[in-house]
Every structure is written in structure tokens, then in C-alpha cells.
Amino acid sequence: MTAIPAAAADITADWLTEVLDRPVTDVKAENLGAGLGLLGEVTRLHLTYGDDDGDGPPTLIAKTQSPAPESAFVAQMMGFYDREVNFYRSAATKVDVRTPRCYHANIVAEGAPFVILLEEITGARMIDQIVGASRQDAEIAVDMAVNLHARFWDNDALYALDWLPPINTPLFLAAGDFAKQKLPAYEAYWGGKVPPEILKFVGDINERYPALLDWWVAQGHPTFAHMDYRADNFLFGGSAGADTVTLLDWQLSVRGVGVWDVGNFLAGSVTTENRRAWEHDLVRRYHDGLTAAGVTGYDWDQCWLEYRYAVAQQAWSTCPLGDLAPGNERGRLLLDTITPRYLQAAHDLGVYDLLDRL
């Protein structure tokens, strides 16, 4: 096997011929980085085949490491690339949500470079995360979270995914040290733009971060959590089917608490005004869906408490990741839009007492 391409520009027709096992005579790369791939490069490949094999996919989506060195370093350090490769190798066909068909996934032992070749879903509708999701799309996202989480709710199917880390591993603990380094610049950037109490709270989490991760594990009902459950990662319809929704980007997945994904979507992918209006009903919809799917021993009060904790930690997570170079103007606008949403959501939920419970 030839070397793994370090960038989409390194993907050649010969390499594609080898990994796809069909004759590719030409490839043209089209960067899709306008707001995509905050931690990696996303590229459309236009393929030409030999005359004797013209039925291959005309396009594929290639995922490779970020061209921004700091972003690539963080993703490599946190195991994000390795996790997504493992997902497509061993779990994509087991989750109860649709994912893109994977044609090839490989990574070096050091965690970068990596490459994943995926089906392109053409003609699909996307949510503009900056504009914010509609109520109908938010309900679809909540229902998909139920399908994903119920399938793996603290059972053998979950633990069989031995590459999927719990949330309190050393990888995640390292993010706390990273946040401490970023905090002064973060406070300088967001000071005066968001409630001052929530900025102080972000700093307070830094001092209790290991205890917070241990608290999550101690809740005792882990499942397969996507952890990047936001509007830009949903494709509606298109070539996947008119009534089909496809979920993308599995590199942050963990063995964790499911309501994290619901909090992530509502706090970051819905406008603040709409989140305030819909939040309670949609979290209740999630809990009712789990109950209907056969999940037991998970009461409403616990679900709502974990939702508050999830949004609190998501507000904190804007600190270690907030100044990564996204590589394009829309990526910067996306971070500048969703960061105050997370911080305001945590403030609205009155999360300030939560650290005292650890």
C-alpha cells in the first residue's frame, strides 16, 4: 500500500486505483472548505475511469488532516482522526442513523495523516448553522439522537467498540491544560460581549475539569455520543433519498452521556431566542423518546440535570477550541456566531451551582 496522502492535493489517480480497486485515469480536487472542516480538510474529488470500468462513483468526498498546523495538532493529540477512521471501519453499519457510504479509511499509527473517502450525497438540503435550525429540523435532530443513543445504551454493543474512549481518558483531561493556556486571550476577546459571570464560570471549570469528567462517567449510563451534533453535520434528502437524513463527522465520538448531543444541537444550532422557546419541550421529547425505545432507569430530573451540565461544558469547550484557525472566513464567522450562543445558553440555564455538586 502506498503512503497515505497528507492532503487532498496529494491524492492521485494511481493511489485511487489502488484503494478503490478500479482503474481511475484522472482526478480533479475541488476544495469544499467554506465553513466545513474546522479540524480537517474536506474536498470533492471528480473521478474519471478507464473505458472498461465506467460505473464507479463520479465524485467522492475526501477527508484529510487540517492544513492549519495548530488544528491538525489538536485533532491528532485528541485522537479525533483516529476515531473517525475507526468509526467508518467498524461502526458505521451498526448505528441506527444513516451515514455516508465509506469507500476507504486509513490512518498512520501516530494519528496523522489520515484519509477517508466517502459517498457524496448530492442535492441534499443543509441547515445554515449561522441562521439557525427550524423547529421541525430541531425535532428531527432530537429524534435521531434517540435512535443513536437507545441502540447503545449501556450495553454489550457499546462496549464492543473498544476504540471508543470514555470521556475521562487522558486525552480529554489534556484539553483542560490546553484551556488554561487559552483562557487569558479568550477572556480578552469575549469580555464585554457576553455575560461576565459566564466567562468567570469558564475559568472556574478549568480548576474542576478532571472532577467534571469523572462526574460524567459516574452517572453510569453511557451510550454512543456523537459529540459534534450540530446543524452543519446534517444532510436532508438528496441522493440518499427524499425522506432520509444523513449524519456526518464522527471524529469527536465518545462513550458518554447521550443528552450531550441534544444540548450541543440546541445551544449551538438554534438561535438564542428559539432555543429559549423550544428548549424544555425538545429535551422532554428526547427523554420521552428514550423511554418509548425501551430505555429504563433514566428519570426526567436526571435527564434535565445532565442537559444543564452538558451545556455548561459546551460553553467551556469554546475556550480551548475558540481560537483555532478555521482556514476560511465562514469558519471564523461560524465560531463567532455559535460561541456566544453556547455561553448565553449556559447563563440562561443558571449553571453556576453545578460545580458545587462535583
Report the percent of the chain where pLDDT is more than 70.
94
Domain 125-357, CATH 3.30.1330 — does that match? no
> Residue 52: which H helix or E strand, with range?
none
Rounded to two decimals, the pTM is 0.92
In the chain, residues under CATH classification 3.30.200 are: 8-119
Instruction: Give the C-alpha separation, 166 to 18, whole Å.
Output: 35
| Sheet strands (E) in the chain | 24-31, 40-49, 59-65, 102-107, 114-119, 125-126, 223-225, 234-236, 245-247, 254-256
Fold exhibited by the domain 8-119:
Phosphorylase Kinase; domain 1 (3.30.200)
Instruction: Give the per-residue pLDDT at 333.
Output: 82
**Phi, psi dihedrals of residue 326, rounded to the nearest 5°:** -75, -15
Is the pLDDT score of 323 beyond 70?
Answer: no
Is the pLDDT score of 340 beyond 90?
Answer: yes
- Residue 46, SS3 per DSSP: strand
132, 274 in Cβ contact below 8 A? yes
Grade residue 172 by pLDDT with cuts at 50, 70 and 90.
confident
Mean pLDDT of 236-260: 96
Q: Which residues contact 122 (CB under 8 A, 6 or more apart)?
A: 59, 238, 239
In the chain, residues under CATH classification 3.90.1200 are: 125-357
Our separate counts of H helices and E strands in the chain read 11, 10
Report the percent of the chain where pLDDT is more than 90.
76
